[in-house]
Amino acid sequence: MTRTWNNRAWFMVFPVLALVAFNAIIPLMTVVNYSVQETFGNNLFFFEGVKWYEEVLASSRFHAALWRQFLFTGTILLIEIPLGVAIALAMPRSGPWVSVCLVLMALPLLIPWNVVGAMWNIMALPDIGLLGHTLRQLGIDYNFTRQPGDAWFTIVLMDVWHWTSLVVLLAYAGLRSIPDAYYQAARIDGASHWSVFRYIQLPKMRRVLTIAVLLRFMDSFMIYTEPFVLTGGGPGNATTFLSIDLVKAALGEFNLGIAAAMSIIYFLMTLLVCWIFYTLMMRGQDQ
């Protein structure tokens, strides 16, 4: 069979290309453009090469924000994933309570981020908030607007409250897809509860947990609204995560070059870490 080359086919691809160009390539290239130039008003630009990148990568402010970011993401992953799996395991497998549990679990996911931030801000207020007031009544010197530790505690608690449900729902879906025969076979093989978890439930949940980790990693790595509303990045810079720092640089200080370079670095980092996670978690399956 002879192959006919016909370049007119490219026209068919054009609409998609245009779409992708407008929603991904052009905005991204704009940022790339800013990141290599010095920008002044009146559309004056001077090419600066990699100067902004060097500056960002060398700045201790960026290092501190990056460290806080990883600390935060690591902490919430370490809490939310095991907690989510534990709750999913404790949920009933069938019966009328299933829907009740699912609805309860889905509720936090339906609340907009800024509302979540505002809710927790009010709840954690040391003088009138339910959480803040109760903690102080218990004799704990709690004040999230003054003490960095308390601010961290509140933000992590808020994130766990907001997002553990997602892990629960994913893990529950994974558990439900395990046929009964596996549990029956395990009973006949004399497996303990731990063995059932270790050799049946956990391997069968692997895919959904990979998705859960990736989603939670990306979301928490880009977290902005909730800490912005709750603490505004304070006290001091204690809860200034990468995106908050970025907005401070771009809008607060109008350092477009620095902010653009930071964005690109930030973007590449998210991509890289996601890829590493994905490769690590899928490696076992491809053997």
Q: Which residues bind other proteins (CB under 8 A)?
A: 179, 181-182, 184-185, 187-192, 195, 199-200, 203-204, 284, 287
**Nearer of residues 153 and 182 to other proteins, judged by Cβ:** 182
Instruction: State how far the Cα of 231 lies from the Cα of 229, in Å rounded to an integer.
Output: 6
Under 8 Å between Cβ of 117 and 229: yes
Q: Given the structure tokens 């004056």, which residue do they identify?
A: 44
> What is the smallest separation between the CB atom of 280 and other proteins, expressed in angstroms?
16
Query: Residue 97 CB, nearest distance to other proteins (Å)?
Result: 17
Least CB distance from residue 80 to other proteins, whole Å? 24
Which strand (E) or helix (H) includes residue 44? strand 44-47
The Cα–Cα gap between 171 and 175 comes to 6
Residue type, 254: F
Residue number, 204 or 248, with CB nearest to other proteins? 204
What count of other Cβ atoms lies within 10 Å of the Cβ of residue 282? Answer: 12
In the complex, least distance from residue 186 CB atom to other proteins, rounded to whole angstroms:
8
CA 59 to centroid of chain Cα atoms:
24
Contacts of 93 (CB under 8 A, 6+ apart): 175, 176
Q: Which two three-digit tokens encode residue 217? A: 């990693």
What is the closest distance, in whole angstroms, from the C-beta atom of residue 284 to other proteins in the complex? 8
Of residues 146 and 187, the one with the C-beta less far from other proteins: 187
- We find the least distance from the C-beta atom of residue 282 to other proteins, in angstroms, to be 13
Six-digit token string for 144: 């999230």
Residue 30 or 184 with smaller CB distance to other proteins? 184
Q: Work out how close the CB of 168 gets to other proteins at its nearest, in angstroms, rounded to a whole number.
A: 23
DSSP string, 197-265: IIIIIHHHHHHHHHHHHHHHHHHHHT--HHHHHHTTT-STTTT--HHHHHHIIIIIS--HHHHHHHHHH
Give the phi and the psi of residue 175 in degrees, each rounded to 5: -65, -40
Query: Angle at Cα 73 formed by Cα 71 and Cα 78, nearest 5°?
Result: 95
For the beta carbon of residue 238, count every other beta carbon within 10 angstroms: 18
Residue with smaller CB distance to other proteins, 112 or 179:
179
Of 146 and 198, CB closest to other proteins: 198
Q: Return the number of the residue (147 or 210) whose C-beta is nearest other proteins.
A: 210
The tokens describing 95, both together, are 């019966």
- The smaller minimum CB distance to other proteins, of residues 201 and 263, is found at 201
Residue 178 DSSP code: S
Least distance CB 285 / other proteins (angstroms): 8
